């Protein structure tokens, strides 16, 4: 179960970083998969839609926190 939570955290980190790159530059690869949060969640939440770069970076940080928390729970 811990590996599944770590995988979810890794996906969150990848989606957050990918969305931030997409806002600053152009998405180089796997945009349909890695920008799912960026294209589905952010437009539907007004607070996140006002600050999409911050939302993507917050997702990446939250993913790191999930990975660390899963690693420390034994």
pLDDT of residue 38: 84
Write b or e for each residue in 24-45: b if 16 or more Cβ atoms lie within 10 A of its Cβ, otherwise e.
eeeeeeebeebbebbeeebeee
Q: How many independent structural domains does the chain possess? A: 1
Q: pTM for the full model? A: 0.87
Q: What are 20-59's pLDDT values in tens digits?
A: 888 888 766 777 777 888 888 888 999 988 999 999 999 9
- Residue 35: which residues within 8 A CB-CB, separation 6 or more? 15, 18, 19, 22, 27
Which range marks the domain in which residue 26 is found?
Answer: 2-72
Q: Using the predicted structure, report yes or no on whether residue 73 has a pLDDT greater than 90.
A: no
């Amino acid at each position: 179960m811990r590996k599944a939570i770590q995988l979810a955290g890794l996906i969150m980190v990848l989606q957050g970083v990918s969305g931030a790159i997409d806002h600053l530059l152009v998405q180089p690869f796997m945009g349909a998969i890695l920008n799912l949060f960026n294209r589905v969640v952010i437009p539907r939440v007004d607070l996140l839609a006002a600050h999409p770069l911050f939302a993507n970076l917050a997702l990446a940080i939250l993913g790191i926190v999930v990975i660390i928390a899963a690693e420390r729970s034994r």
